[in-house]
């Protein structure tokens, strides 16, 4: 692929003795759309701010195009930022906000004018040049913030939860818009979000973070299909995570039964975490089932029903388009490719049990991410 | 129902305003527009005002100079306090407020003790063999007195405005290529404009009408409009002229604050 642009080596960050980042190693390629994804307090914004130059890491190095830039102040970096809640200048109108960086860098007046107008056209804000910032809607302010950063033609654009304050519909539109702009301008995007769906749909590479550490780096498909540990499996999408034992390559035992799977390379009889995605489970008549369980709750989600099924005291989430009454007994089949095996980790046993499942589950996890500073 | 309640609640203040502000204002206007001897309506008092124009300009000049010096001295202080840690901020804020807890008269008299010909400074100079300086009864002494007394009124609104400026705006400016100096000129300073205007007004208004500072620290060439007004009521025994001068001064203050508000683009009203 394209060449490496930024590298973070053994990055740690401490505030008042508290470790916020703990050994971050990461490289970012030119033209890449890379997303730092994780829950509130995972260190993703701190990582972004170190790349932007607003924080100096406690230890470790940041290199840009082969040069160490730890102590280079933000104004000397070829990096621009779209800040959380935009940070637009309230004393300037739309035009002057966008022209700000060009004026500071003494770009000729004619060129400033041409570039600002071109940029406003790209973000669909033509005709808003002389509007005051507080007379714009959230979505418009957001686009001014993007224009203000991109007009400087930075090598890298940092985006800190840029869509967090927008409503769902606008957020979806802006996701497409951002991806389009990124591809059209060929700029590296480093994007911070706690929204896994946003990360999956926009990124070339996703970096999943938690507790100041990188949990997994990979393409969206790989992160979703091959999560490395229980945290990633739970944070990206929904997962049923069970204790199992890897008998040998391609054979895993859980719930007292041996299943065929597609994973190998584990030690004989190694205890493992077994991930089964709720949408991969096939519901079959009881007589044909690998396992038989009882439906304990059902929630209509629009696209599908979320049903909770109890198997031998352990509750699973299953997504199905068919209605199953509470109390009914169903059978399920698991195909080898539906079963994903992970090594045990510090996160084992913390996620993937739907015993306390309720309809508010999704909303709770969404809200938790919004508190990040 | 709701409306009558709020009227009732604000009644004590409204009554206070009427009795102690509006009525006295009416009295001032009455005196200003009546003849001292006959008590009939006249514009004669106002006709004499031309005489006092130089004194009026003097007052405005002294007050403006003092306000600018306060701004130059106060801005860095306010900026520093606004960027300190929370606990340090509280302490420094208190230090700024501290002189205001002392009597204004006492503070000015203390300067007399320092500056007068046989005062502390001159005694010290004489002791180390230097010639005595004429410190008191100079324009500089008057400006010094004004700056010293009114500096907190500049620092406090500036501090309040600087505190409110979003950190991320400063980061955004740095991100877009501003050096620290450019960040200050292009973002911090324009955004602190309401505080500057408010501070200027809070220094200018009391300074332009003061008489005590100029009487204690000034000489015969530093008579201010406040002195003249005071004299009309005390020695001159011409309250009608005094009232006319007061009225003009008040109008002048209104005009000045109006102009300052206009400068601020009307975004945030200056608090007087």
Q: What is the pLDDT of residues B68-87, one digit of tens each?
A: 999 999 999 999 999 999 99
C-alpha distances out from residue B56 to B203, B206, B260, Å: 17, 14, 19
Who among B168, B177, B190 is closest to A101 (CB)?
A: B177
**CA-CA distance, A237 to A157, in Å (whole number)?**
27
Residue A104 and residue B172: Cβ atoms within 8 Å?
no
Who among A53, A104, A148 is closest to B178 (CB)?
A: A104
pLDDT at position A364, please? Answer: 45
Residue B190 and residue A152: Cβ atoms within 8 Å?
no
Distance of CA A45 to the CA centre of its chain: 12
Q: What is the DSSP string of A239-306?
A: -EEEEEEEEETTEEEETTEEEE-S---PPTTEEEEEEE-TTSPEEE-GGG-SEEEEEEEEEE-SSSEE
Q: In this model, does residue A361 exceed pLDDT 70? A: no
pLDDT at position A217, please? Answer: 96
Token output for A300: 């209509």
Each domain of chain A, given as residue ranges in start order, spans: 4-223, 238-369
B177 touches chain A (CB under 8 A): yes
Closest Cα partner for B205 from B29, B66, B2? Answer: B66
pLDDT band at B2 (very low <50, low <70, confident <90, very high): low
Who among A75, A105, A149 is closest to B174 (CB)?
A: A75
**CA-CA distance, A203 to B200, in Å (whole number)?**
53
pLDDT at position B1, please? Answer: 56
Average pLDDT over residues B194-222: 90
Q: In this model, does residue A184 exceed pLDDT 50? A: yes
Residue burial B219-233, b: 16+ Cβ < 10 Å; e: rest: eeebbbbbbbbbbbe
CB atoms within 10 A of CB B250: 14
Identify the CATH class of A4-223: alpha beta
- Mean pLDDT over each residue of chain A, to the nearest integer: 89
pLDDT at position A306, please? Answer: 92
Task: Give B155: exposed, middle or buried? Use CB within 10 Å, 0-12, 13-18, 19+.
Answer: buried
Which residue of chain B has the CA closest to A147? B176
pLDDT at position A365, please? Answer: 46
pLDDT at position A357, please? Answer: 59
| Contact status, residue A291 vs residue A283, Cβ threshold 8 Å | no
pLDDT at position A94, please? Answer: 96
**Identity of the highest mean pLDDT range in A15-19, A108-112, A248-252:** A108-112
pLDDT at position B51, please? Answer: 86
pLDDT at position B192, please? Answer: 94
| Contact status, residue A331 vs residue A285, Cβ threshold 8 Å | yes
Average pLDDT over residues B28-42: 87
**Which of these ranges, A227-236, A353-362, B149-158, has the smallest mean pLDDT?**
A353-362
Who among B168, B186, B193 is closest to A87 (CB)?
A: B168
Q: In this model, does residue A143 exceed pLDDT 60? A: yes
pLDDT at position A314, please? Answer: 84
Residue that has been written with the tokens 């007394």 in this structure: B149
Average pLDDT over residues A140-155: 92
Could you give the percent of chain B with pLDDT greater than 70?
96
Q: In this model, does residue A358 exceed pLDDT 60? A: no
Distance of CA A183 to the CA centre of its chain: 19
Token output for B123: 């005694």
Domains A4-223 and A238-369 share a fold: no
pLDDT band at B267 (very low <50, low <70, confident <90, very high): very low
| Contact status, residue A57 vs residue A12, Cβ threshold 8 Å | yes
Q: In this model, does residue B15 exceed pLDDT 90? A: yes
Higher pLDDT, B227 or A313: B227
pLDDT at position B145, please? Answer: 94
What distance in Å separates residue A48's CA from the closest CA in chain B? 13
pTM summary value: 0.81
CA torsion sign for B109, B115, B118, B120 is positive
**CA-CA distance, B200 to B260, in Å (whole number)?**
9
Average pLDDT over residues A295-303: 91
What distance in Å separates residue B165's CA from the closest CA in chain A? 10
Q: Is the ipTM of this complex over 0.85?
A: no
Task: Give A256: exposed, middle or buried? Use CB within 10 Å, 0-12, 13-18, 19+.
Answer: exposed
pLDDT band at B158 (very low <50, low <70, confident <90, very high): very high
A-proximal residues of B, 136-175, CB under 8 Å: 166, 168-169, 171-175
pLDDT at position B133, please? Answer: 86
Q: In this model, does residue A174 exceed pLDDT 90? A: no
Average pLDDT over residues B93-114: 91
Q: In this model, does residue A124 exceed pLDDT 90? A: no
pLDDT at position B24, please? Answer: 92
| A interface residues, B as partner, C-beta within 8 Å | 52-54, 73-75, 79-81, 83-85, 87-91, 100-101, 104-105, 148-149, 152
Q: Strand A79-82 and strand A156-160: pairing?
A: parallel
**Which of these ranges, A182-186, A208-212, B48-52, B64-68, has the smallest mean pLDDT?**
B48-52
Residue A81 and residue B187: Cβ atoms within 8 Å?
no
Give residue-wise pLDDT tens across range A78-119.
999 999 888 999 999 999 999 999 999 999 999 999 999 999
Residue B177 and residue A54: Cβ atoms within 8 Å?
no
Show the domains of chain B with their CATH numbers.
Answer: 52-263 (1.10.3720.10)
B65 touches chain A (CB under 8 A): no
- Fold topology of A238-369: OB fold (Dihydrolipoamide Acetyltransferase, E2P) (2.40.50)
Considering just the CA atoms, what is the radius of gyration of chain B in Å?
23
């Amino acid at each position: 692929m394209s060449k490496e642009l930024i590298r973070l080596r053994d990055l740690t960050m401490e505030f008042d003795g508290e470790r916020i980042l703990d050994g971050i190693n990461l490289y970012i390629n030119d033209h890449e759309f890379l997303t730092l994804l994780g829950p509130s307090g995972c260190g993703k914004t701190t990582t972004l701010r170190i790349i932007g130059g607003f924080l100096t890491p406690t230890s470790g190095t940041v290199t840009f195009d082969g040069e160490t830039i730890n102590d280079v102040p933000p104004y000397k970096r070829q990096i621009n930022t779209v800040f959380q809640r935009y940070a637009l200048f309230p004393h300037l109108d739309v035009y002057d906000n966008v022209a700000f960086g060009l004026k500071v860098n003494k770009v000729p007046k004619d060129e400033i004018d041409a570039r600002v107008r071109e940029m406003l056209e790209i973000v669909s804000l033509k005709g808003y040049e002389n509007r005051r910032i507080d007379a714009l809607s959230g979505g418009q302010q957001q686009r001014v913030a993007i224009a203000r950063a991109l007009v400087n033609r930075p090598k890298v654009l940092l985006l800190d939860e840029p869509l967090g304050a927008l409503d769902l519909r606008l957020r979806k539109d802006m996701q497409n818009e951002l991806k389009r702009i990124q591809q059209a301008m060929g700029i590296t995007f480093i994007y911070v979000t706690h929204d896994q769906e946003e990360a999956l749909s926009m990124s070339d590479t996703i970096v999943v973070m938690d507790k100041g550490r990188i949990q997994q780096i990979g393409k969206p498909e790989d992160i979703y299909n091959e999560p490395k540990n229980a945290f990633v499996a739970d944070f990206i999408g929904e997962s049923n995570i069970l204790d199992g034992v890897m008998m040998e390559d391609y054979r895993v035992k859980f719930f007292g039964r041996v299943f065929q799977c597609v994973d190998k390379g584990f030690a004989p009889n190694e205890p493992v975490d077994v991930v089964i995605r709720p949408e991969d489970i096939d519901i079959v008549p009881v007589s044909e089932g690998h396992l038989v369980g009882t439906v304990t709750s059902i929630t209509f989600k629009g696209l599908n029903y979320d049903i909770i099924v109890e198997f031998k005291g352990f509750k699973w989430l299953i997504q199905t388009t068919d209605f199953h009454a509470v109390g009914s007994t169903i059978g399920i089949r698991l195909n080898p490719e539906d079963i994903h095996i992970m090594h045990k980790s510090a996160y084992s046993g913390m996620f993937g049990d739907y015993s306390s499942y309720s309809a508010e589950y999704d909303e709770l996890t969404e809200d938790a991410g919004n508190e990040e500073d | 129902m709701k409306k009558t309640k709020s009227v009732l609640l604000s009644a004590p203040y409204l009554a206070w305003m009427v009795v102690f502000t509006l009525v006295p204002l009416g009295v001032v206007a009455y005196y200003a527009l009546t003849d001292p001897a006959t008590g009939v309506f006249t514009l004669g008092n106002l006709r004499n005002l031309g005489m006092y124009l130089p004194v009026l300009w003097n007052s405005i000049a002294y007050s403006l100079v003092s306000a600018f010096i306060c701004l130059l001295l106060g801005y860095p202080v306010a900026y520093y306090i606004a960027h300190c840690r929370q606990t340090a901020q509280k302490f420094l804020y208190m230090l700024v407020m501290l002189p205001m807890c002392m009597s204004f008269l006492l503070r000015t008299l203390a300067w007399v003790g320092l500056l007068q010909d046989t005062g502390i400074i001159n005694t010290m100079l004489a002791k180390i063999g230097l010639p005595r300086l004429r410190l008191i009864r100079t324009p500089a002494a008057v400006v010094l007195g004004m700056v010293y007394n009114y500096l907190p009124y500049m620092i406090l609104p500036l501090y309040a405005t600087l505190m409110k400026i979003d950190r991320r705006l400063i980061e955004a400016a740095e991100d877009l290529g501003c050096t620290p100096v450019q960040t200050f000129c292009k973002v911090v300073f324009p955004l602190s404009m309401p505080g500057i205007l408010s501070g200027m007004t809070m220094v200018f208004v009391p300074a332009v009408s003061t008489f005590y500072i100029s009487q204690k620290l000034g000489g015969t060439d530093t008579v201010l409009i406040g002195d003249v007004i005071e004299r009309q009521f005390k020695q001159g025994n011409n309250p009608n002229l005094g009232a006319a001068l007061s009225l003009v001064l008040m109008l002048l203050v209104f005009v000045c604050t109006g102009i300052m508000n206009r400068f601020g683009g009307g975004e945030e009203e200056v608090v007087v």
